[in-house]
Structures are given as structure tokens and as C-alpha cells.
Amino acid sequence: MTGAGTAVGAHAPTARSARRPEIEGLRGLAAVLVVVYHVWVGRVSGGVDVFFLLSGFLVIGMLARTALRGDAIDVVRTWTRLFWRLVPTAGLVLLASTVAAAVLLPPSTWARNGRELLAALGFSENWRLALDAVDYYASNGSASVAQHFWSLSIQAQFSVVAPLLVLAVAWWARARGVDVRAALVAALSVTAVVSLVHSVVATAADQPFAYFDARARAWEFALGGLLALVVERVRLPRRARAVLGWAGVAGLVTCGAVLDVGAAFPGWLALWPVLSAAAVIVAGRAGAGERLLASRTAQYLGRISYPLYLWHWPVLVVALVLSGQATAGALDGLGIVALSLALAVATHHLLEEPARRVSLGGGRLRAPALVVLPLVPALVALGAWSAVAAAGAAPPVAAGDPDHPGATVLTAQAPPGDVTAPVRPAIAQVQDDWAEYRDGCVPVDGHPVLEECVPVRAEGEPVRRITVVGDSHMQQFLPALEPLARERGWEVRTLVRARCPFATTSETDPADASCVDRNAAILQYLAADPPDAVVVSASRDVRAGLTEQTPDGFVAAWQHLDALGLPVVAVRDNPRFDHRPSECLERYGRGAPACEVPRGELLAADPPYALRDDVPARVSFLDLSNELCTPTACPPEIGNVLVYLDDNHVSASYSRTMSTAVGQQLPALLGW
């Protein structure tokens, strides 16, 4: 999205949009849908896709008219104008969000908030989230205050590319005597088709990544640009336009209710809100454009839509964290919306309107420097906060630390250590305490969908070679395995991908065909280059209510490995919670009964794989439940070490303390 009051962009009133008040009302409607769905419905509305279409319509339309007049496109000046309408409001919201996160949010949220605030300042939040493979449909309470900047980041990236694209196409057309309008239509059509195809394919392969991928959203901007080039030539009877306009509004209002936008977009389903918005634009002032979108209320909401979008999310996140709620109630939601509206109104009148009157002339360097200036206070505040947090950072848990024995207090009869010792990792660091093993990662020859990493290399020829296969729950096991492997001279390789446990079916997402293809490729690769043993998951979905299961797809994959003659060690999954145990500890204190989930609610005495009669003989099982839970409960802290970094992943520090148990059990299971 772009700033309210801007001369170009999704929230920009222009001379053209002044003649078409339905555009102002359309962005107001889109902003209201975003806020309502986020606050009360807990879903994504599709309103952001409307902003992308409008940005393409307004920005490319403006650039195209310049090119069609034969005037030169001043790229630097265009960039300056576009970003000047984005940056002042963004800078203010990011400054306020940084202060709020540092002062009001618990330390357990600091790491993620710091990373994402920095990414938002660089207009790269969409790529930050894509690389983190964040599920945007997750609880708002665990989201960062800057997560919604992903859409503004894509808007900013589009603002960089659009002037270059129109300039290049116009130059090419004139050089070859081709009609500039026809060349732009062709270029935008190709862009839209290629991007939409990529969006469909990428969404099917990895939806969480595709959701934030600017390439999977480019078609929405391109379609807006195409609409700007052809809409004046569309001639429809007024009654037909009225029907089209109301149908478009109805499509926008119902999109988020009918479609699971956060879990299914973009892909071809994103055509719903985009084409609905396009229908409203084609309809013009007929129907909804005259009766609803041209109203004073809709027009004013359109003018404040940009600050409303930016303010509502941090207000919502902070409110939910402070209240300890996962979702806002009816009255709480009204308070959140009222505060967001008040902040949006104040920002529009006290910041955006004065900013419009600022002259950006006076030299080629002055204007870009002025554009960056509003981001400096937020950057300084973020730097100061990061410095203070780093100064208080605790050292990592060292092997054999007597005050932080972790799992060894449960099964290795280790002394409990000093019970007054601070918990490790520190609450502010726990989100980053992940088993990151990226050294020595290379694509697998002949299998482009695979990447193999070697986190543990033996000196010289390895005594044994183990391959760990599966998803993040197998990667978190590596710190527990590493000491044994180094001691015995083993080599450990990994074939790991998030949300893709080793099975013949896609267990996490039944529609994820890429996971099935990946696991089939793994079987082919292991057949061609067999290790001495394979380590996989034995179960999944260990939650309250005894939901743990060993899916048929797991067993079928083990049977394939058995047919290859490969020994398999299947590791029982760890408990998963409906909250973050570290945040519960932070809220209620160490040793609080409220944070200790009864073991009997999570783990049955007999694991599900023990009840199956089709498990191959070469499969043995490693159950670390006694290292993760006491005989009666599964607490957030054991031996002064935090067990979990989020709601279902074991922290690297705690995993490392399970190495003693793994060192005792794994060789016996394999007979080595």
C-alpha cells in the first residue's frame, strides 16, 4: 500500500481519482475489511490484494500517460515522490512500534520483533517472513508488531520496478516504431501471465513462502496497470455497470469469509478479490460506486486508509499480548478499532497533510536524503534497544554446566544445580535458540528438489554414516546427536525441509504434492547412496487429548527403507502446546503449576507405533519422553534450561542436554 494523500499509489488521490471517487471509496472499503477481519474474525480478508491492484492502476497509469504524451520519465524524481508518500507515516508507526515492543511486550518476543522491525525499515519484511516460512494465519498474539509491513514492502519494491519497466518499454517501442500503448499492454500482459503462473505453482509447492513472494504478487500490479490502459475504452450500459459494481463489492466483502485467504493465497484464488476490485473500477460511479463508495464516510476512510492499516496491527498485537488473549472480544475489538482510527486520523491531519506541502526540490541529492530522514528516529530507537538487549544477553549453555544440567537431571541422576541460577537461554533469546545447521549444504545431483547438509563431518573416513530425514522436528534433534557422532567418528547428513516429515503422503498439508515428490526423491537417493542408518520421525501431533499418531504414510516410508536393507531409528515426537511454554513461565513465574501440562494429557503409556503390527523389523524406536517430561508433567523448564523455543520446537540448548540419553540409547538400538 502507499500513503494516504499521495499523488500516486494505492491510497493516493490524484486528479484522475478525484474524477473517480469510487477509487477512494474502494481503498477505504479494503482497509475496513482488513481491520475487521484481523480484529474480530481472526482471518485475512483479501483487502491487501485490492491495494496491490489499485497501486498498479494508479502508478502504472500515471507513468503510462507520461510515456504516451511523449514526455520523459524522470525515474529518480518518480521514486522520490512515491517513497515520500510512504515513508513519513511508516517511520512514525515503526518508531512507535519499536518503543511499544521494548516497553510493553515481554522479552520472549524481542528477538522476533527486532528482526522484523529492521526488515520493515528496509522495506524487505516480505522476504524476511518468506525466509522464515511464517504462517500468516497463526495467532496474532505471537506475531510481531511489524509483520503487516510485508505488504508495504512489496508495494515499495513495485515502486522501484514500475518506473523502470514503463521507461524501458516506452524506449523500446519508440526505437522500433511500435505503438507505445500496445507495447505496454503486451509487456504488462506477459508480466501478469508469468507472475500468475508462478503464483499458482509456488503456492502449491510452498504456500507460506509464496504468500510473501513479491514475484507471486506482481500480476496483481500488472493487472491494475492493464486496467488503467484499457478502462476508458470499455463501454457498458449503465445498468450492466451497476450490476458489475455491486457484484464487485459483494465479492470483496465475502472473500475472506468464504476463502481461507491466509492459508490458500495467493495462487489462482487471489483472482477473487482482484477481479472483484477490477469490476468496481470498470463499473465506475454506477451502482455501488455512486451509492456506497462515493459517500462521505467511504471517501474519508479512503483518505485515512494508509495510516489506519499501519496502526491497527501493532495496536492489535500489543493489546492481545497485554490481555493474554488469543483473539479480541467484541468490546476489546471496539477499543482496538477506536484507538486505531484515532491514531489514523491524527496521523493524516498532523503528518500526512503537512508532508504533502513539503517541497522535494533543491538538488538531486537533497530529495532522496529528505525521503530517508523520517526513518532515522525509528532506526536509532531500534539500535539503542538492540544494544541494551545485547548487553544483557546470557552466554549459551555449555556442555557439563553444573548449574544448567537440563535433561540430565531426569535420567542421568545429575545434581539439579543451583535452583536460583537464571534460566537459560534467557527469555529474550529463546526464540533464536534454534538448531541451525547450514554448513556444507549442497544440492543433490540428479535430484533438484533435494539439498543435503553435513552438520557433523568425521576426521578422515567416517566410521559410520547416518542420514537424518524429515522436517524441523528432526533438525531440532541434531544437537542431541552431535556429541555422540563426534565421539564415535560418525558422519551425520541431513535431508530436512520444514513441514515435510518423511512419509509417502504429505502429512502436514495433504495438498502439498511437492513434499510427496521430495520424499520419493529421497528414497531414490538413499537407494543409490545408502548410509549405515536413517533417522526419521516416529510420530506426530502430540497434543493435549492424546492425539499422537503414527500415520500410515510414515510406516509405508519405513517399509521402503526396509526393502533397501537400511536400519531405521524412528524418534518419538515431542509434545506440542496451544501456547508458548516460555511465555507462560515469563507470565506466571518459574515453577508455576499453571505452566506444567500433565504428562498423561499429552503422552499415552503406549506410543501409537507400538500398537501397529506392520512396522518393519529393521525399525527401532528412540523415545525421549522421559527427557522432555517428568513422570507427572511436561514443564517449560527442566534443570534450569528452557525446553521449548516456541509452542512445539525444542530449544537447541535443551536438545544439547539430551545428548547423554541419546549417547546411551542410540548405539544400543543400532547394535553399534
Query: Using one digit for the tens of pLDDT, what is the confidence trace for 337-390?
Result: 999 999 999 999 999 999 998 887 766 677 888 899 999 999 999 999 999 988
Contact between 142 and 29 under an 8 Å Cβ cutoff? The reply is no
Task: Name the β-bridge partners of 467.
Answer: 493, 534
Q: Tell me, what's the pLDDT at 10? A: 56
Determine the Cα–Cα distance for residues 446 and 432; give it in Å rounded to an integer.
34
Q: Which amino acid is at 9?
A: G
Beta bridge partner(s), residue 279: none
Gap between the Cα atoms of 364 and 533, Å rounded: 64
Tens of pLDDT, residue by residue over 197-238, are 999 999 887 888 899 999 999 999 999 999 999 998 888 999
Q: What is the mean pLDDT of residues 48-61?
A: 97
Please choose, from the candidates 6, 20, 36, 7, the residue with its C-alpha nearest in 3D space to the C-alpha of residue 308.
36
Q: Would you call 128 exposed, middle or buried from its count of C-beta atoms within 10 A (0-12, 13-18, 19+)?
A: buried
Kindly report the backbone phi and psi dihedral angles of residue 501, in degrees, each rounded to the nearest multiple of 5, phi listed first.
-65, 160
97 burial (CB, 10 Å; 0-12 / 13-18 / 19+) is: buried
- What digits encode the pLDDT tens for the residues 123-132? 999 999 998 8
Q: pLDDT tens digits for 617-651?
A: 999 999 999 999 999 999 999 999 999 999 999 99
Q: Of 630 and 440, which is predicted with more confidence?
A: 630
Strands 490-496 and 464-470 turn out to be: parallel
Per-residue model confidence (pLDDT) at position 409? 92
Q: Are 481 and 470 in contact (CB under 8 A)?
A: no
